[in-house]
Structure 1
Amino acid sequence: MDALRAAAILGVVLGHWLVTALVSEGGALHGASPLTHQPWLAPVSWVFQTLAVFFLVGGYVAARGLGPVSGRRPLGEGLCGPGSGRGSVPSYGPWLRARLVRLFRPVAAVLALWSVATLGLLAGGTDLGTVRTLLKLVLSPLWFLLVFGALTALTPLVARLHPLWPLAVVVHVDLWRFGLDGPEWLGWINLVAGWLVPYCLGAAWARGRLGDPAGVRATGVVLLAGGAVTTAVLVVLGGYPASMVGVPGTAVSNLNPPTLAAVTFGLAQCGLALLLHGPLNRAMRRPLLWTGVTLGNLSALTVFLWHQTALLAVTACGLLADTTLPGLHTVPDGPGWILARLAWLPVFALALAVCWTAFHGIEHGRGSRGTTAVVRVHRPAREGAKRHV
């Protein structure tokens, strides 16, 4: 599960770095996307839009961490935060408080830094449109944490909810919105209902509702095939965008708010995750791979919250040069931009490493003596025995 979560975070980070462009024109910066100028790149979004997997893992982790909902005690849950392990089942209040503090504590550092930065930019005479563009890129990912926090708080209610119920809500919202020319605000109902589908699926998996490993694999095959075919039909015949992320200038976005196509695509991703669970669990028995996944999960929120700041920092430093840098400040309108952007990825990663060094301690809090709080880590179990680190 930790490997799936790490892969989901990596997909989000690389996806943003590849499709986010800041074009310098007339002394100001404005946002652009290669998907606007090169729609044939839409399959890139199929690889890096991995939020459904994160909600799948979140539902699984929350259902096990809160306690038994079907007469069974929770199992060890890796880096699943407070309430994990083999001890007593936590009560709802302390469990929720610990998870929300862990979730939102790092946000305060991002908001504080960008509040100061915004005041500095405005005081220095930076174009208002540029400031708005920067803030949108930094703050827009926070919607994910708000939805995730809300679903976490509702876990006792939604843990028993069949994923077909929120899926039915998404279907009806899209029928009313697109088929009957309903108001656009209806789409925002899907912001909760759409991500509730993989979250409930993860909770059902944790409760054993998907059956034994053979049943999990069978469910994975059905979801992967059914989700992929349904998404293809919706895109080809239903008029949904092929890109699974927002594209500036388009009338409809699959992600903002989520559409039925985004949800069925997410179900296909969840099906693939179910199929990969066994092989990943075996792969995590290798110490080197497990160590990498462990370190990544310990700072997952820090990476998620600061990866856009890293991109913006590199972009701002590039403005100090007397020339427009390809792949950084240029219009993403051709293959040359793609190659240049790929070359910038290691620089973004280096900037993110600097942000991680400065802020990763906030994610877990600091002990009274200034040391990072200890997090118990459970290694994937071998057959017949559990080994813990």
Structure 2
Amino acid sequence: MGSSVRELAAATPGTRDRYIDLLRVASLGTVVLGHWLMAVVAGDGVGNLLAVVPELQPLTWGLQIMPVFFFVGGFSHALSYRSLTRKTDGSVYAAFLRARLQRLLRPTMVFILVWGAAALLVQLLGDDGDSTGLTGTALRLVAQPLWFIGIYLAMVAFTPPLLRLHERYGWGAFAALVAGAALVDGLRFLGGVPFVEFLNFAFVWLAVHQLGFLRADGRIRMPSALAAAGLAGAAGLVAFGPYPLSMVGMPGEKVSNMAPPTLALLFHGLWLVGAVELLRTPGTRFVQRARVWRVVVAANGIAMTAFLWHLTAMLGVYGAMIALGIPLPAPASADWWAQVPVRIAVAAVVTALLVAAFRTFERPVSAAPGAAGKGGSGPAAALGITLCLFGVLGLSMVGFGGMLQGKSAMLVAVRVTAPVAVAMALIGWLLVETAGRGRRTAS
């Protein structure tokens, strides 16, 4: 592995934007660390450190860095789609989906299959997956990060039409998405329109994604203004509007900035994008160092696998502590804080072991000879990504527990069960894979 990483790093084209790769790794790493810090397990179940110590909630304005990952995604998707259109005859939609999603969906499907099988085994052994126990809580919590996969799928799916709008209207296309998010929140909070808030899963995150298109074309020329506007907007909305202080979801809160996302979270994303763009010059110098770049290359090769399994690792650490009779200090107590470095270190080791077991599914698979010459089935690929999107979002809400009892959760306005969500995700993935392979050209 070390030699291959060294070779990949050495073969990096001089034109590659290494800072974007650094942002991708840093943003996912920050999310993982944040989850490990926020998870608190006590005798009465699993909680959230930010609920125990509300004074720490302002930290989410720095630690809720997922908008940066989606911004990076927009940049990469723009370059990838334009590259394919130059190389491929006919429709490139199916090939684009497969190229962008191969390293995302394969490890995700393996994760779903492993946890789905584990959930069935637990129930067959007599545990009904009740959400009040640690096992039931784990079956629910490990699926929650799948919401990120669902949103990312939507971003890839909408890249071609939104990129065309960007190329025609530039900042106007971004402004239209911001206006859509503002309208949705207005209808939600002022008009009381039911279910309208779910539209902001699209408007908010696609607006952040659109900033990546602008970055790809060098059109973010005043990052300080973007950061200031975002920070002022988010602060104003939290201070005078119905928005909570925390930029991550909190247990029992009436309004969440995350699920569904709000206009306040969109402004939070603006300030983060402005901030990372202000750091672009020193960040680029930093990642040009050979050793740093090798670390970034290695981390990018396993990032999705690590993200998928990091909560499994942390819950495994807590489960081992309970099984071994190691005392669980009161959350946020001095003893609890003293345990934090040890728990995180052990969770990192367990995550590394899980990555070693499953990283092979994240490696890209070469296209068949001649497949790049023809586009695949666009409609089949579109159906596949839609099924995948709803499948993984459904799983993120219902979890893996209660699979045999028909336990369900509300996905927008439709109830979904775990078996149905698993089936949609798997069928969708197969459609994306097969449609995106294209047809082999005659030699």
2:48 maps to 1:33: yes
Tell me how far apart the structure 1 counterparts of residues 244 and 338 of structure 2 sit (CA, whole Å).
25
- Amino acid paired to 2:250: V
Q: Which digits, 9 at most, give the CA deviation of each residue in 1:91-121, with x for residues without a partner?
A: 3321222222222110111112112221232
Tell me how far apart the structure 2 counterparts of residues 2 and 89 of structure 1 sit (CA, whole Å).
26
Tell me how far apart the structure 1 counterparts of residues 144 and 105 of structure 2 sit (CA, whole Å).
15
2:3 maps to 1:3: no
Query: For 1:284-363, what aligned pairs fall within 5 Å after superposition?
Result: 284-326=287-329, 330=330, 332-334=331-333, 336-363=335-362
Q: Which residue of 1 aligns with 2:431?
A: none
Q: Which digits, 9 at most, give the CA deviation of each residue in 1:253-274, with x for residues without a partner?
A: 1111111111100110011121
Deviation of residue 140 (structure 1)? Answer: 1.3
SS at match of 1:308: helix
Q: Which residue of 1 aligns with 2:157?
A: 153
Q: Which residue of 2 aligns with 1:21?
A: 40
Q: Which digits, 9 at most, give the CA deviation of each residue in 1:316-357, with x for residues without a partner?
A: 21221224323xxx5x25454334334311111011011111
Query: For 1:5-154, what aligned pairs fall within 5 Å after superposition?
Result: 5-25=24-44, 30-67=45-82, 88=87, 91-126=92-127, 128-129=130-131, 130=133, 131-154=135-158
Query: For 1:150-299, what aligned pairs fall within 5 Å after superposition?
Result: 150-159=154-163, 160-161=165-166, 162-183=173-194, 185-210=195-220, 215=221, 218=222, 220-299=223-302
Tell me how far apart the structure 2 counterparts of residues 242 and 198 of structure 1 sit (CA, whole Å).
20
User: TM-score, normalised to structure 2's length?
Assistant: 0.72
Using the TM superposition, name which of 333-342 and 148-157 deviates more. Answer: 333-342
- Report percent identity of matched pairs: 35
Deviation of residue 207 (structure 1)? Answer: 2.6
Instruction: Check the 8 A contact 2:77/2:100 in 1, yes or no.
Output: no
Q: Counting helix residues as a fraction of each chain, which structure ranks higher?
A: 2
Tell me how far apart the structure 1 counterparts of residues 111 and 48 of structure 2 sit (CA, whole Å).
24
SS at match of 2:328: coil
Tell me how far apart the structure 1 counterparts of residues 343 and 313 of structure 2 sit (CA, whole Å).
12
Tell me how far apart the structure 2 counterparts of residues 365 and 57 of structure 1 sit (CA, whole Å).
19
Number of equivalent positions: 336
What are the ranges of 5 or more consecutive residues in structure 1 without an aligned counterpart?
68-73, 75-82, 369-389
Deviation of residue 88 (structure 1)? Answer: 3.6
- Amino acid paired to 1:148: Y
Instruction: Check the 8 A contact 1:241/1:252 in 2, yes or no.
Output: yes
Q: Which digits, 9 at most, give the CA deviation of each residue in 1:56-75, with x for residues without a partner?
A: 000000001111xxxxxx5x
SS at match of 1:139: coil
- Amino acid paired to 1:195: W
Q: Which residue of 1 aligns with 2:418?
A: none
Residues 180, 333 of structure 1: CA spacing in aligned structure 2 closer, same or farther, 3 A cutoff?
A: farther
Using the TM superposition, name which of 5-14 and 231-240 deviates more. Answer: 231-240
SS at match of 2:46: strand
- Amino acid paired to 1:341: V
Residues 318, 365 of structure 1: CA spacing in aligned structure 2 closer, same or farther, 3 A cutoff?
A: farther
Tell me how far apart the structure 2 counterparts of residues 322 and 125 of structure 1 sit (CA, whole Å).
23
Deviation of residue 149 (structure 1)? Answer: 1.2
Instruction: Check the 8 A contact 1:221/1:271 in 2, yes or no.
Output: yes
Residues 21, 122 of structure 1: CA spacing in aligned structure 2 closer, same or farther, 3 A cutoff?
A: farther
Deviation of residue 296 (structure 1)? Answer: 0.8
SS at match of 1:140: coil
Deviation of residue 123 (structure 1)? Answer: 3.2
Tell me how far apart the structure 2 counterparts of residues 95 and 178 of structure 1 sit (CA, whole Å).
38
Q: Which residue of 2 aligns with 1:80?
A: none
- Amino acid paired to 1:192: A
SS at match of 1:22: strand
SS at match of 1:324: coil
- Amino acid paired to 2:199: I
